[in-house]
Chains A and B, each alone.
Chain A
């Protein structure tokens, strides 16, 4: 079982819709959770981090964490074509020793 699992997609949504990206993790002791966005041919850039259960909002982005169910999600409201990218979920272990990345979900926002 991989430490972090994501649906590879592609996830296609129309412009203006809400895109919902999901991620599950296997280590119940995981402490820190991150979402990165990666455009084709570029390096990952941090969108959000979340550390405690619940929702965290930043502009059009909302990260949701549910430690009991071991999942973290990212909602993108009012999706724009410029949001088309691969979204990587990352998780750190209890002792912060390792940083695990999912394989990413490719998002296509259609104009």
Chain B
């Protein structure tokens, strides 16, 4: 099976812009979780989607949003980018529930200037 894929892999944006990141889970996986990873904060949970519904949400401002499509692919959007949003954004998929093993994609590295 192909693994989790994320696009783009690298992105440079300026403050105030918005960005959309994409994640395609492992075939058959219906749960997609998003994480932000920075050197100082480690892995921070953003949100989790299952069957096109957001099931869980972390403690991030409303500028961070996401959605899931009927084919389980997911997108996350960050509006009004801030310098502090520079991070590695990771997507992880699991077959049904978030409690099952999560498999990570390669990540999207976002740099906000």
Interface positions of A (Cβ within 8 A of B) = 31-32, 34, 36, 42-46, 49, 88, 90, 92-93, 96-104
Contacts and interface: CB of A to CB of B under 8 A. Distances in A.
A4 B80 CA distance: 31
B43 A88 contact: yes
Contacts of A102: 42
Contact of B99 (A36, A42, A99): A99
Contacts of B55: 97
Interface of B: 33, 35, 42-43, 45, 48, 55-56, 88, 90, 97-107
Contacts of B35: 101
Contacts of B88: 43
A89 to B, nearest CB: 11
Contact of A46 (B33, B99, B101): B101
18 contacts: A32-B100, A42-B107, A43-B104, A43-B105, A45-B104, A49-B101, A88-B43, A92-B98, A92-B99, A96-B97, A96-B98, A97-B55, A98-B56, A98-B98, A99-B33, A99-B99, A99-B102, A101-B45
Contacts of A101: 35, 42-43, 45
Given A31-B99, A44-B90, A46-B101, A99 B106 contact: no
Contact of B90 (A31, A43, A46, A96): A43
Nearest to A88: B43
Give the 10 A-B CB pairs with smallest separation, nearest first. A96-B99, A92-B99, A103-B42, A43-B104, A101-B43, A96-B97, A43-B107, A44-B104, A99-B98, A32-B99
